[in-house]
Amino acid sequence: MPYPRRRAPIACEYCRHRKRRCDGRTPVCSLCATAGVECKYLDKPPEVRKARRPDNAGTAALLQRINELENRLRECQRNESGRSACSSSRSSTHEPTSCLGDDPPTSTEGDRNSDPFQVDDGVGQTGGSATGTPNAQIGVLPDPLTGMSVDNDPPIAPGVSTPQTSTLGFSPSIWAAQPLPTSDWLQLACASVLNYGPSSIPTTDEGGYVIIPSGHHTTTSSLLSIEPVRALVGYYPGGLFYDLEASREASPVIPSDMMSDDLGLLLSQVDLSQGTTDRLISGFFAFIHPQFPIIDRDLFPDVFEKSKQDVSKHIYGPSLGMCLLILALGALGSTDSPLSPDDNDSAGMPYFIIAYRILTTIWAGSFDDDLCQPTGMLLAAIYLCFKSRPLAAWKLAYMSSCNLQLLTQRTMSGCYDKEHDDMLSRLCWTCFVVECDSLSEFRLPRTGIEMAIDRMNFPQLDACNERDNVMFLALCSIRRLLNRIHNSVYRSSNKHDLSPIDTVDQMGFNSRAQHALLALVSLEGILSELERQLDAWYSSLPEIVKPDLCSTVPSDTQDAWLRLRYWSARHIISRPCLIYEITWCKKGEVQPEYVSRHVERCLDSSRNFIRTSIHVLTKQTYYSWMVLQAQLSHSVLIVAAVSCSSMKHRVPEWRDLLQLAVEAVKPWSTRCSSAEVILLILQTLRHKVGFVTSWQTRRPENASMVGNKMVPVRHRRCMLITLKIPNPH
């Protein structure tokens, strides 16, 4: 059998003359470099160039990504041509659409100009052609997330209140918000700026939706598993905080003896007098309602009076459970009160226990159109978030989401009035925020609320408090942007490239570092586009809610949370570059300019987050548990950067930042809680990092390092002892 001859398709003149196998490297191949001779290549024919295979997995990933984007673009063009006839006929009849209507009217150029604060998010709103032809006024940017061409619309003066989208270009993977008929810009003008998605026909492929990936590696536990961080804090299991919270939830939120008591007996033990209920209801609408405006303040008194009458008749329905939860939240809702876990532990709990029993008992068989059931479940989830019980809160939000999505399917048929639709829209968006906050830190099952939101309007709110309404919509919109960041950057497929678990093997260090750099290069366009979307979101916020980022002192709790959301988004966009530098970069090695830029922004975001969060952790809020987790993430990365000699100068005030984090977490550290572990890790870092930096200062010249980090002794993990690695040369 003849043996087929194999020759390199590309070879230099020296290798051809010597009959050697050339590796085809440019500008000098390996053999020419070893021999010290000039390396010359003959002109390569076009067919040979096409025949070359990718040199590494990074190039293959880039080619695969390009092919995916091209396929999406072709699909968009096919859908656009198919919709042209339908769009033209629809534009002739401008009928108002309901909050959850199926057919949004086509927006015109006049609509875009009258739409206040209209900002393109880079995913489908276009001002030019789908091929990326430059617009006459605004440059059209290619969106690396969808392959579409998008424009960058500046903020426009207030005119109408709801999202407007262009049908010139759209992504088939996004369901956009639809315009609502209104003339009052307080309901709300800024809703348009918070729209992330163009008008399009929904797809049935769940992979096309912008959701938090089930295996994403943005969580704090994932951050603790990467090697540079593990060298500082030691080994912790991947599901550390889930296990901690699950063990806490094993002790029931409600004592078992109260679950067996008669509801009538429990109701007789709570204070339902007129004076007490009026005070608690006022507390709810003063402190909780501005953050989650889901209850109609004008309609609630009638619902409450009817529930009191039902109690006298021994009728315990979902409306009673909802009213009791409003009383419970009003009892603990003074968010401006100082933190005192012991005193606040039982605040509102008697009301919560009764409501919990009523709602969870009815939930399994609840299929009617009453919104009190999902509203009560959602309020119960918010109550448990105030209690820093994230898993129990997620479970109640999960149950509420299931009911809401059933109601959403019925609402789309148009059989309900506008008040019902508006209430349902507010509930869905609030449930979306609560559920996604849990999914961003835990790997939990999804209800599908993220996909339901993609075809839903931003909610219409009353105009009684303009600032609170705008703030709520701003938080909903940046939650969607955070989901997009999770989806685009932190998928499980690139976890080991961007967040390596083991890099101590010196033999494969250079090849793995190169592979990590290629993976980072493939994300350059996506990171830049996400950063542009975040800047556009901030620039388009109305002045009444726009935070002053030059200061780290918030005006109130809502302002603080909007700031923290912004710094979190900015941080996780740039985090892959920081992890790459602390993991792979050697001292004195020059990195690409965009990597250094993102590293600086990541550290700056962590610095601002810590300084802002200390004002939130002084009181009991819905966000307390999430802020504690984020404190650890930001502190760990700052310390990891300081432990690298090449980045120590970038955070000169690291000691002050770490001290602020420790002092802020300490009051929350209760037995067997996540805060207790967070405090332990922060205190360990504070003690260790001083030794690390002092060792770097005194390190002898012949002491080597693997990459830009020290190598811990394997059999003594509890001590940060470094090894002198002999120079192999």
- Which tens digits make up the pLDDT trace of 559-588? 999 999 999 999 999 999 998 888 887 666
Q: Are residues 412 and 264 in the same domain?
A: yes
For residue 348, the model assigns a pLDDT of 86
d(CA 546, CA 541): 6
d(CA 370, CA 367): 8
Q: Are residues 324 and 399 in the same domain?
A: yes
Average pLDDT over residues 116-135: 37
Find the range with the poorest average confidence among 213-227, 235-249, 324-338, 686-700: 686-700
Average pLDDT over residues 464-487: 90
For residue 205, the model assigns a pLDDT of 40
Query: Nearest 5°: phi and psi at 712?
Result: -75, 150
Q: Are residues 182 and 248 in the same domain?
A: no
For residue 666, the model assigns a pLDDT of 92
For residue 412, the model assigns a pLDDT of 62
Judged against a pLDDT cut of 70, whether residue 484 lies above it is answered with yes
Candidate ranges 203-217, 257-271, 395-409, 639-653; pick with highest mean pLDDT: 395-409
User: Which of 169, 200, 231 is the endpoint of a domain?
Assistant: 200
With beta carbons less than 8 A apart as the criterion, state whether 177 and 160 touch: no
For residue 567, the model assigns a pLDDT of 96
Judged against a pLDDT cut of 50, whether residue 366 lies above it is answered with yes
Is position 258 within any domain?
A: yes
Q: Are residues 326 and 424 in the same domain?
A: yes
Average pLDDT over residues 41-55: 51
Is position 215 within any domain?
A: no
d(CA 284, CA 328): 9
d(CA 267, CA 271): 8
Judged against a pLDDT cut of 70, whether residue 53 lies above it is answered with no
**How far from chain centre, in Å, is Cα 302?**
38
Confidence of residue 313 (pLDDT cuts 50, 70, 90): confident
Q: Which secondary-structure segment (H or E) carries 150?
A: strand 149-150
Q: Are residues 256 and 365 in the same domain?
A: yes
Helix segments in 614-623, DSSP class H: none
Where do we find the tokens 């920081």?
Answer: 578
Q: What is the 3-state secondary structure (H, E, C) of 329-340?
A: HHHHCCCCCCCC
Is position 2 within any domain?
A: no
User: Which of 200, 218, 249 is the endpoint of a domain?
Assistant: 200
d(CA 244, CA 398): 20
Confidence of residue 505 (pLDDT cuts 50, 70, 90): low
Find the range with the poorest average confidence among 2-6, 159-163, 240-244, 613-617: 159-163
Confidence of residue 85 (pLDDT cuts 50, 70, 90): low
Judged against a pLDDT cut of 90, whether residue 419 lies above it is answered with no
Helix segments in 614-669, DSSP class H: 624-642, 654-665
Domain count, the chain: 4
Is position 712 within any domain?
A: no
Confidence of residue 723 (pLDDT cuts 50, 70, 90): very low
Is position 94 within any domain?
A: yes
Q: Which amino acid is at 541?
A: L
Q: Residue 121: helix, strand or coil by DSSP? A: coil
Q: Are residues 45 and 73 in the same domain?
A: no
Closest CA to 77 of 141, 135, 131: 131
Q: Are residues 46 and 127 in the same domain?
A: no
Query: Nearest 5°: phi and psi at 471?
Result: -65, -40
Q: Residue 291: helix, strand or coil by DSSP? A: coil
Q: Are residues 250 and 180 in the same domain?
A: no
Please write the tens of the pLDDT for every residue from 324-349: 999 999 988 754 555 555 444 578 88
Q: Are residues 453 and 506 in the same domain?
A: no
Question: Mean pLDDT for the chain?
Answer: 73
What CATH number is given to the structural domain containing 19?
4.10.240
Confidence of residue 556 (pLDDT cuts 50, 70, 90): confident
Q: Which secondary-structure segment (H or E) carries 307?
A: helix 300-312
d(CA 675, CA 241): 10
Is position 660 within any domain?
A: yes
Check residues 94 and 601 and name the one with the higher pLDDT.
Answer: 601
Q: Are residues 630 and 508 in the same domain?
A: yes
Is position 717 within any domain?
A: no
Q: Are residues 587 and 678 in the same domain?
A: yes
Handedness of CA 438, 443, 447, 448 (dihedral sign): positive
With beta carbons less than 8 A apart as the criterion, state whether 159 and 185 touch: yes
d(CA 224, CA 151): 39
Confidence of residue 247 (pLDDT cuts 50, 70, 90): confident
Is position 548 within any domain?
A: no
For the full predicted model, state whether its pTM sits above 0.85: no
Q: Are residues 574 and 652 in the same domain?
A: yes
d(CA 485, CA 210): 9
Average pLDDT over residues 259-267: 74
Confidence of residue 193 (pLDDT cuts 50, 70, 90): very low
d(CA 348, CA 498): 45
Closest CA to 565 of 579, 547, 578, 580: 547
Residues 6+ apart with CB under 8 A from 484: 123, 145, 196, 210, 530, 533
Domain enclosing residue 44, as ranges = 13-52
Where do we find the tokens 């420790």?
Answer: 662
